[in-house]
Amino acid sequence: SAVISQKPSRDICQRGTSLTIQCQVDSQVTMMFWYRQQPGQSLTLIATANQGSEATYESGFVIDKFPISRPNLTFSTLTVSNMSPEDSSIYLCSARTGLQVGTEAFFGQGTRLTVV
Amino acid sequence: GNSVTQMEGPVTLSEEAFLTINCTYTATGYPSLFWYVQYPGEGLQLLLKATKADDKGSNKGFEATYRKETTSFHLEKGSVQVSDSAVYFCALTEYSGAGSYQLTFGKGTKLSVIP
């Protein structure tokens, strides 16, 4: 199993600023991901955080807006850049410990972001 | 692409009532199926899973059976408790090449259990 700690747990930010969310896993994991969960909606995958290389972004998400780092097997950051009210959402870090398709994904408690 | 459709909420039940949350999926190959639960103020956690047809996942009194013929994975519990109040997400994972295992989620069903 894996325990994921995210911080901050919530923040209120001014439009035009940037926020960096940190994700720490208590053990080495194979894969790390970042999701967005908009109010009343499902989870949408933003990107897969790759250790030591550029993240793999899903359609509709770009590196300039959501730069991601993963310097080692237990830590990743997501930055939400040049924020607008439309970025208000819950951002979730996730990790998998194996490569088999049935492997469980673990989630952090999320960062609730409000942009004003 | 893959998709997951689950029944719209919110669902409100009395304690000890029977629960069913319907989930159907579309996938190009042979996915693994999951139910995740999100309690208020917490992240998602795995409730149960099934990795092949006719498998039954079970945990905490919840059950779901992987039905390939109907592409369904309905969640059931015989007697719900107030502590089961949460949002339930049906999801699937399918290998999509180049080491990628994307989780596809349904929209979530909010369950409220009243005493």
What pLDDT sits at residue B79? 96
3-state SS class at B41:
coil
The residues on B that touch A, with CB distances below 8 Å, are: 31-32, 34, 36, 41-46, 49, 51, 89, 93-95, 99-103, 105-108
CB contact under 8 A, B89 and A43: yes
Residues of B in contact with A31 (CB under 8 A): 101
Q: Do B103 and A48 touch (CB under 8 A)?
A: no
Q: Coil, strand or helix: which one is A98?
A: coil
CA gap B95, A78 in Å, rounded: 25
Residues A96, B105: C-beta atoms closer than 8 Å: no
- CA atoms of B57 and B70, how far apart (whole Å): 17
Task: State whether residue A49 sits within 8 Å of chain B by CB.
Answer: no
Return the number of other C-beta atoms located less than 10 Å from residue A87's C-beta: 20
Which tokens go with B53?
A: 């047809």
What's residue B99's pLDDT?
A: 61
pLDDT of chain B, 115 residues: tens digit per residue:
789 999 888 999 999 999 999 999 999 888 999 999 999 888 899 999 999 999 999 999 999 999 999 999 999 999 999 999 999 999 999 876 666 677 899 999 999 999 9
| Distance (Å) of CA A41 to CA A28, A36, B9, B70, B110 | 30, 9, 12, 25, 11
Longest dimension (CA), chain A: 42
Tell me the C-alpha distance between B101 and A31, whole Å.
9
pLDDT at A112: 95
Number of neighbouring beta carbons within 10 Å of residue B37 = 21
Q: What is the DSSP letter of B67?
A: B
Give the nearest chain B residue to A2 (CA atoms).
B45
Which chain B residue has the Cα nearest residue A58? B102
A31 inside 8 A of chain B by CB: yes
Q: Which residues of A touch B31 (CB under 8 A)?
A: 101
- Tokens for B50, please give them: 């099934």
CA distance A33 to A18: 20
pLDDT value of residue A38: 87
Considering only CA atoms, which of A114, A58, A67, A68 is closest in space to residue A90?
A114
**Chain B neighbours among A 57-86 (CB < 8 Å)?**
none
Q: Which of B48, B101, B103, B104 to mutate to test the interface with A (most CBs of A within 10 A)?
A: B101
Average pLDDT, chain A: 93
Collect all residues of chain A within an 8 Å Cβ-Cβ radius of residue B102: 45
> Which pLDDT tens digit goes with each residue over A32-81?
999 999 877 889 999 999 888 899 999 999 999 999 999 999 999 999 99
pLDDT of residue B47: 97
